[in-house]
Amino acid sequence: MTLSLTQSQGAALWQVAEALADAARLATLRHFRQPGLDAANKDQGSGYDPVTIADREAEAAMRALLADLRPDDAILGEEAGHQTGTTGLTWVLDPIDGTRGYLSGTPTWGVLIALCAQDGPVLGIIDQPYIGERFYGGLGRAQVTGPQGSRALAARPARPLAEATLFTTFPEIGTSAERAAFERVRDRVRLTRYGTDCYAYALLAAGQIDLVIEAGLGAHDIAAPIAVIQAAGGIVTDWQGRPAHGGGRALAAANPVIHAQALALLQDGLPDDLRAGGGAA
């Protein structure tokens, strides 16, 4: 589906997206850094995948708004799953991307909101409620608002990989083969940082860093960052150079030049089963 919108239709969709972000901001701040905040573990194995009352309340608040404002659109949320629609549009919601960080009191978690057509994100918001920063991308908009006011988003121009800054959430990224691929890029850049979840994508769109490499993502983790980064002039694909909005592995880059350099290193020596596609979603 290729989406064709008038200016007023696009503005109306942005109003809905902002209302969702405002509602999630209230719900998440209500519990952030509060004594006694606990989390359930969604991982039935030996891992740790926490969910808090704030995750659930924030997604419920956004779904309630969509039921009122856009009842015919589909919804895909991290906590409450998929709800079908009839318009061909899907709101993809991550009420708290970085729940581990949220539980730890760090200000690098965020609320992710995307509107997707069949061929990918149409618009996206990365919101950091505690800092008060909101990053917008899509439908002609590439902007951040926050404590320093409002300014346009613009990803970095090309630079040598040896001068680049790379982010990922977990040092032990993905499977052993995925980790080895990531480390080939890590070993070529100037600086590697870990643990900022969706805020890393916001920094890339804001021109602060060059690369984000991840594996094991859900659609809710990556749809909004794709919209924001692309609006800022960056590029996001999977590790095969294909669309990444369905989740799995993602390579986000500030420009096509550094994307190509990182992609070649990810592909070099990657086993055939990983080179063919898929991922630890």
Q: Give me the pLDDT at residue 45, please.
A: 77
Which residues share a beta bridge with 165? 191
The helix (run of H) or strand (run of E) holding residue 29 is: helix 7-31
Dihedral of CA atoms 78, 80, 81, 83 in degrees, nearest 10, equals -130
Confidence label for 1 from pLDDT (cuts 50, 70 and 90): very low
Regarding predicted confidence, which is higher, 229 or 268? 229
User: Identity (one letter) of the amino acid at 36?
Assistant: G
- The dihedrals phi and psi of 248, each to the nearest 5 degrees, come to 95, -125
Dihedral of CA atoms 220, 49, 22, 202 in degrees, nearest 10, equals -60
Question: Is residue 74 predicted with pLDDT exceeding 80?
Answer: yes
Q: Are 125 and 135 in contact (CB under 8 A)?
A: yes
- pLDDT tens digits, 212-233: 999 999 999 999 999 999 999 9
Confidence label for 279 from pLDDT (cuts 50, 70 and 90): very low
* Cα within 13 Å of Cα(115), Cβ side: 25
Q: Which residues are within 8 A (CB) of 276 and not within 5 positions of it... i.e. 6 or more apart?
A: 240
Instruction: Match 């509060």 to its residue by tokens.
Output: 34
Q: Are 94 and 81 in contact (CB under 8 A)?
A: no
Which tokens hold the place of 181?
A: 């691929």
- pLDDT tens digits, 164-193: 999 999 988 989 999 999 999 999 999 999
Rounded to the nearest integer, the mean pLDDT of the chain is: 94
Instruction: Match 């609320």 to its residue by tokens.
Output: 111
Question: Is residue 245 predicted with pLDDT exceeding 70?
Answer: yes
Confidence label for 275 from pLDDT (cuts 50, 70 and 90): low
Q: Give me the pLDDT at residue 6, please.
A: 87
Cα–Cα dist 241/206, whole Å: 23
Q: What are the residue ranges spanned by the domains of the chain? A: 7-152, 161-275
Q: Give me the pLDDT at residue 172, please.
A: 87
Q: Give me the pLDDT at residue 278, please.
A: 42
Note the maximum CA span of the chain: 50
Class of 161-275 in CATH: alpha beta
- pLDDT tens digits, 90-122: 999 999 999 999 999 999 999 999 999 999 999
Q: Give me the pLDDT at residue 44, please.
A: 78
> What CATH architecture applies to the domain 7-152?
2-Layer Sandwich (3.30)
Q: CB neighbours (10 Å) of residue 270?
A: 18
Q: Span 226-252, mean pLDDT?
A: 97
Phi-psi sector, 39: left (phi>0), alpha (psi -120 to 50), beta: beta
Which tokens hold the place of 157?
A: 């121009």
| SS3 state at 115 | strand
Instruction: Tell me how far the alpha carbon of residue 83 is from its chain's centroid.
Output: 20
Q: Give me the pLDDT at residue 271, please.
A: 67
3-state secondary structure 247-275: CEEEEEECCHHHHHHHHHHHHCCCCHHHH
Give me the percent of the chain exceeding a pLDDT of 70: 95
Confidence label for 281 from pLDDT (cuts 50, 70 and 90): very low
